[in-house]
């Protein structure tokens, strides 16, 4: 169903605030009272309490276009100080500089949907829906200066059909991404991944 068929305009509402009970209810109630309808909703929270419950240090490094060089310098310093063995990028919506990529080569894993490079940019699952894709998938790979083109560690696929809405496609894609990323991280931690140039050898 298009936005015209729904009878109104579409907007993206982004909120940032301390987490507490009732936030979702307050926002959804406000939208309903003003004849609004929610077609997709996502909620995230920075997981400091969970991290610290395992006696692990939690670090948050805000990034803006203006502070990116300083933020990357802080990140590299933190990696060196903590002797970090693996960095996992999951929904980190920033492009790292070539300098950072080279410094952590073979120690940083990223995950992306397997539509790349077919559906780049924003809302890839909406683009996929418009093209009538029959498969959704994900690729976990080591990070290199070439965006999303590093040595592949693991991939996964799921067959879909015309009954999938863009939202359901995105949900299915996220499930595959989570499974693929988990396997890639586990194999790396278990020293099952051998780098061979632009390829990997996996010891199953």
- pTM of the predicted structure, to 2 decimals: 0.74
Walking along the chain (204 residues) 10 residues at a time, the average pLDDT comes out as 58 81 87 86 76 89 90 95 92 85 93 74 81 90 87 94 89 92 97 94 94
Q: What are the catalytic residues?
A: 148
| Dist CA 169 CA 167 (whole Å) | 5
| Dist CA 151 CA 144 (whole Å) | 8
Phi/psi of residue 34, each to 5°? -110, 25
* CATH T-level assignment (fold) for domain 18-202: Rossmann fold (3.40.50)
Report the pLDDT value the prediction gives residue 2, as an integer from 0 to 100: 46
Cα 75 to Cα 51, 63, 104, 170: the distances in Å are 18, 11, 11, 30
Report the pLDDT value the prediction gives residue 11, as an integer from 0 to 100: 84
Cβ atoms of 51 and 58 closer than 8 Å: yes
């Amino acid at each position: 169903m298009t936005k015209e068929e729904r009878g109104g305009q579409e907007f993206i509402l982004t909120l940032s605030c301390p987490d507490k009970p009732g936030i979702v209810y307050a926002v959804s109630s406000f939208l309903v009272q003003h004849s609004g309808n929610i077609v997709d909703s996502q909620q995230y929270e920075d997981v400091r309490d969970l991290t610290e419950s395992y006696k692990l240090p939690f670090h948050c490094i805000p990034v803006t276009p203006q502070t990116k060089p300083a933020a990357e310098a802080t990140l590299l310093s933190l990696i060196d100080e903590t002797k970090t063995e693996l960095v996992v990028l999951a929904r980190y919506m920033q492009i790292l500089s070539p300098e950072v990529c080279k410094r952590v080569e073979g120690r940083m894993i990223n995950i992306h949907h397997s539509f790349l490079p077919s559906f780049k940019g924003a809302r890839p699952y909406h683009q996929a829906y418009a093209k009538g894709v029959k498969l959704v998938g994900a690729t976990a790979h080591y990070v290199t200066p070439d965006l999303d083109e590093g040595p592949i560690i693991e991939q996964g696929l799921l067959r879909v059909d015309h009954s999938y809405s863009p939202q359901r496609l995105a949900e299915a894609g996220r499930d595959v991404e989570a499974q693929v990323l988990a396997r890639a991280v586990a194999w790396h931690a278990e020293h099952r991944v051998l780098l061979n140039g632009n390829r990997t050898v996996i010891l199953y």
